[in-house]
Amino acid sequence: MVERLSKLLDVSLTVKAELPGKALEFSTYRHPLFERESPIVIGGDYVTTESGTGLVHTAPGHGEDDFRVGQQYGLPVLSPVDDAGNFTEEVGPFAGLNVLKDANAAVIEAMTEAKSLLKEETYAHRYPYDWRTKQPTIFRATEQWFASVEGFRDEALKAIAQVRWIPEQGENRITAMVADRSDWCISRQRSWGVPIPVFYDEETGEPLLNEETITHVQAIFAEKGSDAWWEMSVEELLPESYRHNGRTYRKGMDTMDVWFDSGSSWAAVAEQREGLHYPVEMYLEGSDQHRGWFQSSLLTSVATNGCAPYKTVLTHGFVLDEQGRKMSKSLGNVVDPSVVIEGGKNQKAEPPYGADVLRLWVSSVDYSSDVPLGKNILKQMSDVYRKIRNTARFLLGNLHDFDPAKDAVPYDQLPELDRYMLHRMTEVFAEVTEAFESFQFFRFFQTVQNFCTVDLSNFYLDIAKDRLYISAVDTLRRRSCQTVLAVAIENLARAIAPVLSHMAEDIWQFLPYPTPYESVFESGWVKLDEWKNPELADSWQQLRRIRFEVNKVLEQARAEKAIGSSLEAKVLLYVPDLELRQTLESMNPANSLSGNGVDELRYLFLTSQVELLDNPAALADLKYQSQSDALGVGVADAEGVKCDRCWNYSVHVGESKEHPLLCERCVPALAGKF
């Protein structure tokens, strides 16, 4: 730094000799103002060569790094600053000056007079500020109270291993923290908090803290609260035996670490309140609490009772804005839950979404890490909410004339499609149950969203519309469908109740038939095991895959305006698998009124006709077709004329003299027979 120092000091510097810095170790230097010598020590890795001379002042009483170096060299821990930030008498002529306000100017003036100041300059550097008051901080080495962890650390580690941690990496995190911990500093110097009930001998400074004094203070706190420590005299706080023993005492002014307060809540709350128990089922807090509440609770409980105070610990991340930034009032990027629920002053810019949408968003994210939230995300979540709500409205609307007590169809009389759908519900709601029990709420979100969109709206309800709208009211074809809808809506309400609580209760209150329960929250959890049918599921999964391939070809024809509705089409299928072909043939009767009129292919595909081909050659002439080794699909114009009532195309429209515009299904439907 020779050249730089020459310019800075405006003098010509000459190198007299060169030697490694370590050679100066244990040499002494004289204080620039006081008659005092101190040794030169080798600093830690916090001293760099980027600026300055590499020679820095070490103050063991005013910084952690300096303190550790001082301990290494046996330096005295001098900390001549009082609680108000003023120099103490140890600093001689500077006593009483505030370190951050007026001490600097006084010290510089004194060094100038002593001719020991080479250069004074102002420069910017990083300095710690208190996050709450935004004021600079002063670090001081002071006497503190410690609780030793070494005596029960192994027990604490064993207790950690017996707890269920969600997510699992939480166990590794707290294990590493406890394994490296030997002490817990439990005292603080704050103007608020629960006091440490210790007295000090005025003459010797020896602390007075034993079972007798603690029991006495405890009784006072139980009656008057912990503020009594500040309000009552020392004589009142001391037990009788210490009031006249010839010694004088003063109260300690240290407060207890707040983590000790919250960490002992298992004893103050769980053990003492009616209806609670210890250990508790779960502690739930942010991921920063592994070094805070989770750990302080663990240590106090293990030290006292030899076990963890909780059976499960769940940790979550924090909410960020949509750009991934921490929410801050100064940045103006805070998402206020009350505004999300009730809307802001400008409701066009900040519409009210309600509590359910906010709760739905919480269920949708991986809470184990930090998650973004903002207007766009809430808008997307509102769309998902409306999809679930509209599905529920459709189910309720089509049950307006249905009473399960009178109209429900027995399971053995249900068409195969309905029995499959009941089985599918057992799978869906078992997944939801598992999601809640494992606290993987995003699985609940994905499962319910997929159930409403894919299983119900895009599949079952799409097929069911024909049965619900075309069939006569009191027929098996319609009532069997309503039986499934009733099971679906009741169990959907139960399944979403923990998250979409308001929607679930609204659904329950609008059920168009009486139930034994006034509220969804009284109705119990979903129970559908009786409808499991895995073999049927395998068959219908194949059929759904075929339907998916058929829909792709239909969509191509629709996109090019060859057809409008899928009912304007006839599907041609070639299936080389003989077993699957036999299944499809049984679902494609020559007479459209034979069978149950539900499990037929044309209802599955929502087309007017389906033709099964003996070979794929006929598909080659079709513009809209798709072929693979497992399946050939073609789409042609439907045969016949469009029925005015059901909009299906049929070659039998016009055969009825009474209803010349209706097809062979709608004529008997009007008579209540289909």
**Paired sense of beta strands 371-372 and 319-320, if any:** parallel
**Paired sense of beta strands 569-574 and 632-637, if any:** antiparallel
Q: What's residue 527's pLDDT? A: 84
Q: How many residues does the chain have?
A: 674
Report long-range pairs for 545-551 (Cβ below 8 Å, ≥24 apart): 546/573, 546/575, 546/584, 546/631, 547/459, 547/604, 547/605, 549/626, 549/631, 549/633, 550/605, 550/633, 551/605
Enumerate the domain spans of the chain.
Answer: 2-113, 146-316, 375-532, 554-639
Tell which CATH classification among 3.10.20.90, 3.40.630.10, 3.40.190.10, 1.10.730.20 matches the domain 375-532: 1.10.730.20
| Cis peptide, bond prior to residue 279, ω within 30 of zero | yes
Q: What's residue 595's pLDDT? A: 64
Tell me how far apart the alpha carbons of residues 120 and 69 are, in angstroms, rounded to a whole number: 27
Angle, vertex CA 458, rays to CA 479 and CA 414, nearest 5: 25
Per-residue pLDDT reduced to its tens digit, 591-613: 766 667 788 999 999 999 999 99
Q: What's residue 208's pLDDT? A: 96
Q: Is the confidence at residue 283, as pLDDT, over 90?
A: yes
Per-residue pLDDT reduced to its tens digit, 647-672: 999 999 999 999 999 999 999 999 98
Q: Mean pLDDT, to the nearest integer, of 192-220?
A: 94
Q: Which two structure tokens, joined as six digits, stand for 373?
A: 């939230």
Give the amino acid at 496.
I
User: CATH fold of 554-639, please?
Assistant: hypothetical protein PF0899 fold (3.30.2320)
Q: Is the confidence at residue 43, as pLDDT, over 80?
A: no
Q: By percentage, how much of the chain surpasses pLDDT 70?
A: 99
Mean pLDDT of the chain: 93
User: CATH fold of 146-316, please?
Assistant: Rossmann fold (3.40.50)
Q: Is the confidence at residue 346, as pLDDT, over 70?
A: yes
Q: Mean pLDDT, to the nearest integer, of 54-68?
A: 87
Q: Is the confidence at residue 45, as pLDDT, over 80?
A: no
Closest C-alpha to 65, from 45, 86, 38: 45
Q: Is the confidence at residue 242, as pLDDT, over 80?
A: yes
Q: What is the CATH number of domain 2-113?
A: 3.90.740.10
Q: Mean pLDDT, to the nearest integer, of 155-160?
A: 97
Q: Is the confidence at residue 52, as pLDDT, over 80?
A: no
Q: Which two structure tokens, joined as six digits, stand for 500?
A: 């979409």
Model confidence band, residue 630 (pLDDT cutoffs 50, 70, 90): very high
Confirm if 347 and 339 have CB atoms less than 8 A apart. Answer: no
Model confidence band, residue 44 (pLDDT cutoffs 50, 70, 90): low
Report pTM.
Answer: 0.78
Confirm if 70 and 60 have CB atoms less than 8 A apart. Answer: yes
Q: How many C-beta neighbours within 10 Å does residue 93 have?
A: 12
When mean pLDDT is compared across 47-51, 57-61, 81-85, the lowest value belongs to 47-51
Helices 476-496/501-509 angle, 10° precision: 150
